[in-house]
Structure 1
Amino acid sequence: MTSTARPGRHTAAEAAEQARFSDPAAIRAHMVNDEERMPVRTVRARRGDGAHAGRQSGGSAATAAAGCSVSDSEASTGRTDRLGEVMVPGVDGSEVSLRRFCDSADTTGLLVLHRGRLVHSDWRHGFGPDDRHVTASISKSVFALVLAPLIRSGDIDPRRAIGDYVPELEGTGFGLADVDDAFHMLTAVRYGQRPFHKEAEARAFFAAVGMVPAPADYAGPRTLLERLATSREDGPSGQSFRYENGNTEALGEAVRRTTGATVSALLEELVYSRIGANGDAHFGLDPTGRELVSGRFSCTLGDLARLGQLMAAGGAVGEDQVLPADLIADFWTVPEGPASDVVGTGDERIDRPVLAYRRGWWLPLDGEGALVARGRSGQRLYINPSRQTVIAHFGAHPVAEAFDTPRFEPVFARLSRELEAREAALTPH
């Protein structure tokens, strides 16, 4: 893709920054196998000798539930390309084939599951089933599967201030906010004296924790906790929706302090070792060894789909109830208040409420009843239980004003309806 960014003079540092976020090849290189560029902590696919032994054979209920009924080698050959010619909403709003949509959306990999079986796969740019990929803000949704059980068990009180759990944050913007407001992105914080700007603060966060190289003249925080400690109240919590990485990172620190365990170990124990994952996952770490839970969880595309199938099945993998069904169902409850009507997130063409935000997950307000995990540059996990469809997507679409945002949720809703229609056409009346 050729960048159409506005012309103008840039310093070498500004040009490098622009390329990092507007060139699909650079984005893809940053997302794939990131353990080569930063320290990571493993989330193992299996624990102990034979405990939750993971991959299973044949057509067992657990295998189907984990989305493993087509092998990784079959998926990588492209023989499951059954939906490539389905017409979907294009990046510019026109109707295009799914294959052309993936071209324009800078797709790296796409998997579609229906009734727990793989029905479509599209692997691109040398990326394959065994490769790990950064999930970006999908990490927030994965982390929610650790935090929500701790709230349910009473280990973490949703109405207590985060500063009660993390003394270093007492009196800061995040420290004064309560757990539930941070979980729903309802804090109002700023950093220093500057006005809040979502994208500028995201990039400042990336530099502070080592996700991208800091500018030569950078004099700001160099660790996650230092970054969080610079937050200041910008208004009362609970009154407005403001998407900000620091919310999830402050909650991650509260979890570590409360349990005495790493988030990686908790995710492994509670979820990841029990879904039949094909490979280990990991979290990227800041310079002090803290997991970056807001955006640096990395796994294979197939294992992301397995997490989606776990949600679609009400927290179960076969006969193993991995997470309580009522806890999973709660993610589908549209929240009251500002998080119930998020306007056009990431897409300025939309001027009406299109999403709700519930405990780290997104609810499209389109009547489909889907649940979505979303990350920058096209990372998506789409779960539609009523149509028994799970869709996992990795991409490298630029995050810049010059580029339209692909309409992933409408596309995935269209695929879900198409699969249901095809099944109905094959069912005897």
Structure 2
Amino acid sequence: MNANSAPHPRDPLNPGAPILPRGEWDYPPHHRWTFQHIREMTATAQVWRGPGPVLSLPTQLQDIDGIEFEAGGRRRTVRDFLDESFTDGFLVLSCGKVIAERYMNGMKPHGQHLAMSVTKSIVATVAGILVDRGVIDLDTPVTKYLPELEATAYRGATVQQVLDMTTGVLFDESYTTPGSHMQKLDQACGWKPMTRPDWPQTMWQLILTLTEQERPHGELFRYRSIETDVLGLVMERASGLSLAELISSELWVPMGAEEDAYITVDHAGYALADGGFNATLRDYARFALLHLRGGKVNGRQIVPSAWIEATRNGNHALFQGVYREVLPRGAYHNQFWIEDPDRRAYMARGIFGQYIYIDPEADFAVVKLSTWPEFVSAERSIEALAAFHAIREHCKAD
């Protein structure tokens, strides 16, 4: 059985389908269905596309199935890769055209899919717009916007350090360690039932509990999802708008999205900036195209080109340890992963296999929406990048 032939948990011909467990709906194997049906599982806020025209995505489909590549000492084709990597949606942009577009595991063109931590890069792109307007200052301490954080380990950290995840705040990102900050986040964000009244009930409450600092701010990159939630709160406080409204008005409307997006919210209505965004495959592709075009769409500059250029330059020296397993020459900056300092291709990534890979030098991008059985997998990540590279080289040869 390949990765896309598992039985559907919501078979319309089977009214006796099992009820998904509230505490595990976002875990395998349930996520094969729920990642395309988040609104049936938890509270969300609309990200309106607006009344304007849809950004056209010219299509010139090519047969990429037979393209071969090697990863982990094994040779396979792109078709093998798609079948074996729990693909839900897959789209390739080359020179401004859609050259491949696949819907698998029941996904449909009009259906939204959870982005997980790809959300971070979308939120940061909107932050770049606010920075350019002077609404937010990168060198300013986050406590200027959120003075309540003076009582936390964020005291003294700048907005840029939050963007780069180089604060020294102690945050346990472990998904499986009992009582970890990440497990507390699951309850605080509204995804899981409030079975632990002694744990934070909202994201804001969780942030206020982060009083321990493990190293000086700015010393080292360490992936902490909560940093994006701090960023989202800074954006809301500085602008006076909710995060869903900001993404709509600053990005989704001017970008020419085809469908509304939505984002999950906690019990207080705060949007999950670190992983709650949902959109269609093609609208994720429009986001990628916006980056490929230096932030400009139809002659209108939406995202500052200087912000995008700066985002592609990260500090590799701060990028240590386990992160180099997948990206040995990588870096992290402005909530994007940079592949290497030469080509400076960069990407948005999320657990369970979400990718938006962007290479402006080749005018090439890939969107992959997945439901891996693992939270993270270095082997699958290396394989995905090898597949993207092989498709890119095929497009270059054509």
What TM-score results when the alignment is normalised by the length of structure 1? 0.80
* CA distance in structure 2 between the aligned counterparts of 1:246 and 1:129, rounded to whole angstroms: 31
State whether residues 174 and 250 of structure 1, in contact with CA within 8 Å, keep that contact through their aligned partners in structure 2: no
8 Å contact kept, 1:112–1:121: yes
Q: For 1:202, what is the secondary structure of its paired residue?
A: helix
Name the aligned partner's letter for residue 54 of structure 1. P
Counterpart position of 1:69 = 58
1:265 to 2:245 alignment:
yes
Distance 1:22 1:251 in 2: 26
Q: Does 1:183 align with 2:163?
A: yes
Instruction: Work out whether 1:43 is the aligned partner of 2:47.
Output: yes
Amino acid at match of 1:32: Q
Tell me the SS of whatever aligns to 1:231. Answer: coil
Tell me which of 103, 107, 119 is aligned to 2:83.
Answer: 103
Q: Which secondary structure does the structure 2 equivalent of 1:271 belong to?
A: helix
The secondary structure found in structure 2 opposite 1:118 is: strand
For the residues of structure 2 that align with 1:419 and 1:402, how far apart are their CA atoms?
27
Matched, 1:89 2:64: no
> What secondary structure is seen at the aligned counterpart in 1 of 2:367?
strand
Is 1:225 the counterpart of 2:204? The answer is: yes
Distance 1:88 1:122, change over 3 A: farther
Give the percent of matched residue pairs that are identical in Structure 1 and Structure 2: 24
1:241-298, Cα deviation, whole Å (9 max, x unpaired): 1111111101111111111111222222222112221100111111101111110111
1:12 match:
none
Q: Distance in 2 between matches of 1:2 and 1:234?
A: 44
Q: Are the structure 2 counterparts of residues 278 and 2 from structure 1 closer, same or farther at C-alpha, using a change threshold of 3 Å?
A: closer
Asked if 2 retains the 8 angstrom alpha-carbon contact of 1:177 and 1:187, the reply is: yes
Distance 1:21 1:223, change over 3 A: closer
In the other structure, the counterpart of 2:261 is 281
The one-character-per-residue Cα deviations of 1:190-239 (angstroms, maximum 9, x if unpaired) are 26xxxx4543433331222112345x456311101011011022221111
Give the residue type in structure 2 aligned to 1:372: M
TM-score by length of 2: 0.86
Aligned-residue offset at 1:20: 6.0
Letter in 1 for 2:85: A
Task: Give yes or no for contact 2:327–2:340 (8 Å, CA) kept in 1.
Answer: no
Question: How many angstroms apart in 1 are the aligned matches of 2:366 and 2:2?
Answer: 28
Distance, in Å, in 2 between the alignment partners of 1:186 and 1:401 is: 21
Question: Which amino acid is 2:245 matched to?
Answer: A
The separation in 1 between residues aligned to 2:42 and 2:140, in whole angstroms, is 34
- Tell me by how many angstroms 1:118 deviates: 0.9
Q: Which runs of 5+ in 2 are unaligned?
A: 4-20
- What do the CA deviations read for 1:46-84 (whole angstroms, capped 9, x no partner)? 24xxxxx2226xxxxxx3xxxx113xxxxxxxx946111
Give the direction of change, closer, same or farther, for the CA distance of 1:141–1:168 in structure 2 (3 Å limit): same
Q: Aligned equivalents of 2:265 and 2:128: distance in 1?
A: 22
Q: How big is each residue's C-alpha offset from its partner over 1:132-153, in whole Å with a ceiling of 9 and x where there is no partner? A: 0110101110001111222233
Counterparts of 1:81 and 1:124, CA distance in 2: 18
Q: Secondary structure at the match of 1:174?
A: coil
Whole-Å separation in 2 of the counterparts to 1:19 and 1:316: 40
Retained in 1: the 8 A contact 2:167–2:217? yes
Letter in 1 for 2:345: A
The Cα offsets for residues 81-130 of structure 1, whole Å up to 9 and x where unpaired, read as: 6111111235x441111111122211111001111111112211110110
CA distance in 2, matches of 1:342, 1:264: 33
2:170 is aligned with 1:166: no
Shift of 1:352: 7.2
Whole-angstrom CA distance in 2 between matches of 1:386 and 1:17: 45
Q: Contact 2:316–2:330 (CA<8 Å) still a contact in 1? A: no
**Taking structure 1 as reference, are residues 174 and 272 closer, same or farther at Cα in structure 2, changes over 3 Å only?**
same
| Alignment match, 1:387 | 362
User: How far is 1:403 from its partner?
Assistant: 8.7
List per-residue Cα deviations over 1:2-35 (Å, max 9, x = no partner).
99xxxxxxxxxxxx79976763x41222311311
Q: In the alignment, which of 111, 114, 132 is matched to residue 134 of structure 1?
A: 114
How much does 1:404 deviate?
A: 4.1
Q: Does 1:55 align with 2:54?
A: yes
Say if 2:312 and 2:338, in contact at 8 Å, map to a contact too.
yes
Residues in 2 aligned to 1:19 and 1:222: alpha-carbon distance in whole angstroms: 18
Query: Does the Cα contact within 8 Å between 1:342 and 1:354 map onto a contact in 2?
Result: no
Say if 1:17 and 1:137 are closer, same or farther in 2 by CA, change over 3 A: same
Residue aligning to 2:286: 306
